[in-house]
A and B are shown apart, each in its own frame.
Chain A
């Protein structure tokens, strides 16, 4: 039961994030939803990599036994870096939208449709 708690948190975060992305009208809040979604996925990867009583693969300190393969941590790190780039690009879009349209309400960002 306790072991499943992180996965429950992952599902909860995904649902919260999708709800924010779908229902919020403020562009910044939508972006926050995307960031939460990223965190949920990162938590999922980390949870997969957790081994109870495992030995961290730090060669200088580790006892001479088999260590945990740090692939999920490496994946998470990569994913965080990509997430930073994504957030930066999204926020720069928001700045331009604010300058040109004077609003970040997604109902008003509709000039393409006209």
Chain B
């Protein structure tokens, strides 16, 4: 059905297609804007399809290895290299495949949305170039098995995101936000590069599986671990390093904000990959686990308390994004804290990790949806200020429905997907430490309170005279939001199927370091 060539080379294709399409789009855009829309939309559709084909293949046939510059994946370790995989390797296990699914769905929904929302703006030549570069960066980050390659894709992602955050200069304010983001992420990336140097100096390898197989957890490795955790926790917006998040999220165009959420998840993936695959049981699981739990709890509490007084709807949502990232860190942190103790892991560790990982995909969907609704409102009303909105429920009915779906999902109300993952986190974390579960529930209630307020001030009340000419958002934007909304509802209605087929394999792949190493080094 699907040509074998495409399945065979899908890891390379899904990075090459957006990369080539990105740099061709300024030239193709010269023909007409219609042709450009078809080109970038088509490129993203092809990329998403390839990524989904690959993810399907990984879920049915197990970890995929793609060795660049070799004729077959079995040549991962060349015979004359002294047992070191010197080629660049993409290694896609179930956890990576899950991230591919997230990127494919969100990337496609968001480009449909932005084709319509950005149509009246200028400077679209490079907008889509940067958009597709972001997609390249995310897909590369989540599928690479080479730590230096990870750094390169991280930098591609940072450069493209910074360019897009500053895209609508807006009197310089957006540039200020992008500057803050970019200075921080450059310093963070350099910290990661130092850590890569430390690994290379000790283990003569850049391949993650090779480093993991040789990991000694010496003092230098601890330094490297700290550098990587600090840099990636900053990139995903965990609390002590979260201050760029509200600025960047609120200043970027709304479609880009939704993609930045996915980009943050890719950094989160990098964090989990480092902790679980590179170090796994060699590190002091309880200490690092508690470190991540504390980061998570701080993010949850600080994020939601900062969100409540905000007047700007996107800033408010950005603080909620920080808060929701805390749930993922909490869930996976609990799993990490009991790593190495099989009975505790079976009792609640796996469930906590599954909850955390499930929350990653759920968050990408409902948070993306919320940011897109905020963008649709801004398109029609021209303000993000909550105090100046009101009564939009009369004119923007579909946007209101999508907003309600997103808001109920983020607050963890059944039958939406946020409920499913949060319930898993509550149950398992309660066994681990009841206090943490209580904090998580209180944060959830505060989230609901905050979104009730937002809903009321945007959509309820009498129709305001100054917004009498406001119409519903254009059709492609509604379709983009609709895709995400349907996923939110489906994941909420059938969480059992999703968890069983997508999430559990991902959590087990993350914990099972031996399988990751064995795929490259051959049953090490």
Q: Give me the interface of A with B, judged by CB distance under 8 Å.
A: 21, 30, 34, 37-38, 41, 44-45, 48, 69, 71-72, 75, 78-79, 82, 85-86, 89-90, 93, 96-97, 99-101, 109, 111-112
Contacts and interface: CB of A to CB of B under 8 A. Distances in A.
B166 A71 contact: no
Interface SS of chain B: helix
A30 B183 contact: yes
A72 B172 contact: no
B176 A89 contact: no
Nearest to B246: A112
A72 B175 contact: no
B423 interface: no
A101 to B, nearest CB: 6
Nearest to A78: B152
Contact of B193 (A41, A90, A100, A109): A41
B474 interface: no
A100 B171 contact: yes
A-B CB proximity, top 8 nearest: A100-B172, A48-B201, A96-B175, A82-B155, A93-B179, A41-B193, A111-B173, A41-B190
Contacts of B190: 37-38, 41
A90 B182 contact: yes
Contacts of A89: 159, 162-163, 182
Interface residues of B, number: 31
A79 B163 contact: no
Given A71-B206, A97-B175, A34 B183 contact: yes
Contacts of B217: none
A72 B187 CA distance: 20
Contact of A79 (B183, B187, B193): B193
A75 B179 CA distance: 26
A86 B154 CA distance: 12
Contacts of B169: 96, 100
Contact of A34 (B172, B175, B186): B186
A41 B194 contact: yes
B243 to A, nearest CB: 11
A86 B159 contact: yes
A109 B175 CA distance: 10
B338 interface: no
Contacts of A111: 171-173, 176
Point out which of A38, A69, A111, A112 has the most chain B C-beta atoms below 10 A from its C-beta. Answer: A112
Contacts of B194: 41, 44
Given A37-B190, A69-B86, 15 more contacts: A34-B183, A41-B197, A45-B193, A48-B197, A75-B148, A75-B197, A75-B206, A82-B152, A85-B159, A86-B182, A97-B176, A97-B179, A100-B172, A111-B171, A111-B176
